[in-house]
Amino acid sequence: MSVYLFVSSNNKTIKMLCRICNSSSSQYYKDTRVFHKCPQCSLIFTDQTLDKESEEKHYKGQWENSNKEHIIALADKLLTIINKYRKPSRILDFGSGSGSITDEFLSRGIDTTPYEPMAHGSLANHNYQNMFDTVIATEVIEHLPNLWDELKSIMGVLTNDGIAVFTTLMTNAFIDTPNEQFAFRKWWYKDDLTHVSFFCNRSLAKLAELGHFKIDVYGDNNSSNTVVIYKNKIV
User: What's the whole-model pTM score?
Assistant: 0.89
Residue 177 lies in a domain: yes
Q: Tens of pLDDT along 106-133?
A: 999 999 999 998 888 889 888 888 999 9
Residue 9 lies in a domain: yes
Q: Tens of pLDDT along 168-221?
A: 999 999 999 999 999 999 999 999 999 999 999 999 999 999 999 999 999 987
Pick the closest to residue 44 from 168, 145, 171 (CA basis).
171
Residue 235 lies in a domain: no
Residue 165 lies in a domain: yes
Residues 146, 165 contacting (CB under 8 angstroms):
no
- Residue 4's pLDDT band, with cuts at 50, 70 and 90, is very low
How many structural domains are present in the chain?
1
Alpha-carbon separation of residue 65 from 71, 99, 103, 162 (angstroms): 11, 13, 16, 31
Query: Could you tell me the residue range of the domain that residue 223 belongs to?
Result: 4-230
CATH number at residue 140: 3.40.50.150
55 vs 193: CA distance, rounded Å: 9
Residue 69 lies in a domain: yes
Q: H/E element holding 123?
A: none
Pick the closest to residue 36 from 55, 58, 20 (CA basis).
20
Calculate the dihedral angle through the C-alpha atoms of 221, 76, 120, 188, rounding to the nearest 10 degrees.
Answer: 20
213 vs 205: CA distance, rounded Å: 10
Residue 26 main-chain phi, psi, to 5 deg: -80, 165
**Is the predicted pLDDT of residue 225 greater than 90, yes or no?**
yes
Residue 44 lies in a domain: yes
